[in-house]
């Protein structure tokens, strides 16, 4: 099966990040690592696109330390 432009770009980004981190991915593990990388990118997009900064809670919790006995 031929790679799409998106898959090619994802693989290039993965390779660049691994090279930047100084990691060498064995050829027999590369496909699994690419799948995990694609899944991670989808999860990050979901987390970052779900709520605006205005949806953050305005609560600030303050814990009073226990007195030393």
Give 28-50 as a DSSP string: HHHHHHHHHHHHHHHHHHHHHHH
**Spans of all domains in the chain:** 10-48
The predicted pLDDT at position 68 comes to: 61
How far CA 54 is from CA of 15, 30, 45, 50, in Å, comes to 36, 39, 18, 12
Q: Length of the chain in residues, anyone?
A: 69
The predicted pLDDT at position 6 comes to: 87
Q: What is the pTM of this model?
A: 0.64
pLDDT averaged per 10 residues, the chain (length 69):
79 96 96 95 82 72 71
């Amino acid at each position: 099966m031929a790679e799409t432009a998106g898959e090619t770009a994802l693989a290039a980004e993965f390779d660049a990040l691994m090279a930047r981190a100084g990691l060498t991915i064995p050829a027999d593990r590369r496909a699994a690592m690419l799948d995990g990388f694609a899944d991670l990118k989808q999860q990050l997009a979901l987390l970052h696109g779900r709520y605006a900064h205005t949806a953050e809670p305005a609560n600030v919790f303050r814990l009073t330390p226990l007195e030393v006995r």
